[in-house]
Amino acid sequence: MASDFWCEPFEANYRVMAVDRSTGYETRRLPNVSGGSVTRNQDTSTFESATIAIQGPVGEVPDLVRIYLDATSQVTGESRSVALGTFLVSLPKREVDGATESTSADLYGRLRELADDDFDAPYTVAAGSDAVMAAAGIARAAGLEVIADPSDYRTTAEWTFGVGGGGEDHPDTKLKAINKLLDVAGFSAAKTDAMGRVIMARYAKPQDRPVARTMREGAGCTVRRELTDELDRLAVANVIHVDYTTQEASVRGTAVDDDPNSEWSTASVGRRIVKRYEYQDLPAGADAQAAANLKAAELLATDRSILRRVTLTCAWCPVGVGDAVRVDIPTAGVSRDYVVRTQEIDLGPMCALRMEMRNFGR
How far is it, in rounded angstroms, from Cα 349 to Cα 71?
10
Where is average pLDDT lowest: 10-19, 222-231, 284-293? 284-293
Strands, E assignment, 20-150: 26-29, 32-41, 48-55, 64-73, 79-97, 100-109, 123-125, 146-148
Cα(177)–Cα(133) distance, integer angstroms:
13
Does pLDDT of 167 surpass 70?
A: no
- Inform me whether the pLDDT recorded for 362 exceeds 50: no
Q: Cα 178 to the chain's mean position, in Å?
A: 15
Taking the C-alpha atoms of 46, 51, 56 and 58 in order, what is their torsion angle to the nearest 10 degrees?
Answer: 20
H/E segment holding residue 205:
none
Into which CATH architecture does domain 209-232+307-361 fall? Roll (2.30)
User: Residue 286: pLDDT band by 50, 70, 90 thresholds?
Assistant: low
**Do 113-200 and 209-232+307-361 agree at the fold level?**
no
Q: Per residue in 307-355, pLDDT tens?
A: 789 999 999 999 999 999 999 999 988 999 999 999 999 999 989 999 9
For position 9, what pLDDT does the model report? 93
As a whole number, mean pLDDT of residues 46-62 equals 91
| 189-205 tens-digit pLDDT | 999 999 999 999 999 88
**What are the sequence ranges of the domains in the chain?**
5-108, 113-200, 209-232+307-361, 239-304
Name the residue among 311, 302, 80, 316 with its Cα closest to residue 213: 316
Give kind and range of the element (H or E) at residue 255.
Answer: strand 250-256
What's the pLDDT tens digit per position in 65-88? 999 999 999 999 999 999 999 999
- Contact criterion met (CB below 8 Å) for 82 and 69: yes
What is the pLDDT, as a whole number, of residue 359?
Answer: 84
- Fold annotation for 113-200: Phage tail protein beta-alpha-beta fold (3.55.50)
